[in-house]
Amino acid sequence: MLWTLIPAKSFRHSKQRLATVLGEEARARLSAAMLARTVRTARAALGGQPVLVVTPDEEVAEAARQAGADRAVMASSEGLNPQLAEAAALVPSGDALLVLHGDLPLLEAGDLAAMAEEQAPVVIASDHAGAGTNALLLRTPDRFFAFGPGSCARHREEAQARGLAPAFVRREGLARDLDEPADWERLGLPLSTLLERLAEQDQSSTRRNKA
């Protein structure tokens, strides 16, 4: 079985680095829309496999459940890596685990299918710069999380230190995140257009799930 963990901050406190291009309300709306779409895309791509959202925030947890997440793990730890470790403890050691960031506006079901099809014990999908990790698939009971600046190299090193040869998946939908104003500029869309597209993609994904 493949479990997907999607970490999510409070909508009100997310995407602080976009404050120069988006106000607080716009950032909250964007974060909520991207999380909902990520949950639905994971469900569409991975069928009946469990999808969990990891968050300390009840508003985010409720939004995740409404989007179709199987469960919201209310993390009590401080920091992303400890929160993921807390949630990973709920996953049976013999099952695979996919950590997927929720700020990938171009993410498609095929991107996650490509991750799942790769049979290496550790599969890494980096950001567009090759520095951060936007998705991490672990097929080993020894789970490790090294998210933060330079996490792509750190995840590779952690795998190699365990004698594991990591594989890398490079796809536009997994690489294009929204962290910095430059990411927004590269996307080239006003907020209203992006929200409309996310909503349209959500509706299409929901129809496929019901079919």
The two three-digit tokens of residue 22, written as one number: 């988006």
Q: What does the pLDDT look like over 12-53, one tens digit per residue?
A: 888 888 788 778 888 888 899 999 999 999 999 988 899 999
What pLDDT does residue 91 have? 96
The pLDDT assigned to 202 comes to 56
**Domains observed in the chain:** 2-206 (3.90.550.10)
Q: What is the mean pLDDT of each run of 10 residues along the chain (211 residues)?
A: 96 82 84 92 92 96 95 95 97 97 93 96 96 97 96 98 97 90 77 72 51 49
The pLDDT of residue 183: 78
E strand spans, the chain: 2-7, 51-55, 71-74, 96-100, 122-126, 133-138, 167-168
**55-90 core/surface letters (b: 16 or more CB in 10 A; e: else):** bbbeebbebbeebbbbebbbbeeeebeebbeebbee
- CA-to-CA separations, 88 to 94, 110, 178, 190, in angstroms, rounded: 12, 24, 25, 36
Measured between alpha carbons, how far is 67 from 202 in angstroms, rounded to an integer?
9
pLDDT of residue 204: 54
Q: Which residues pair with 168 in a beta bridge?
A: 124
pLDDT at 209 (0 to 100)? 47
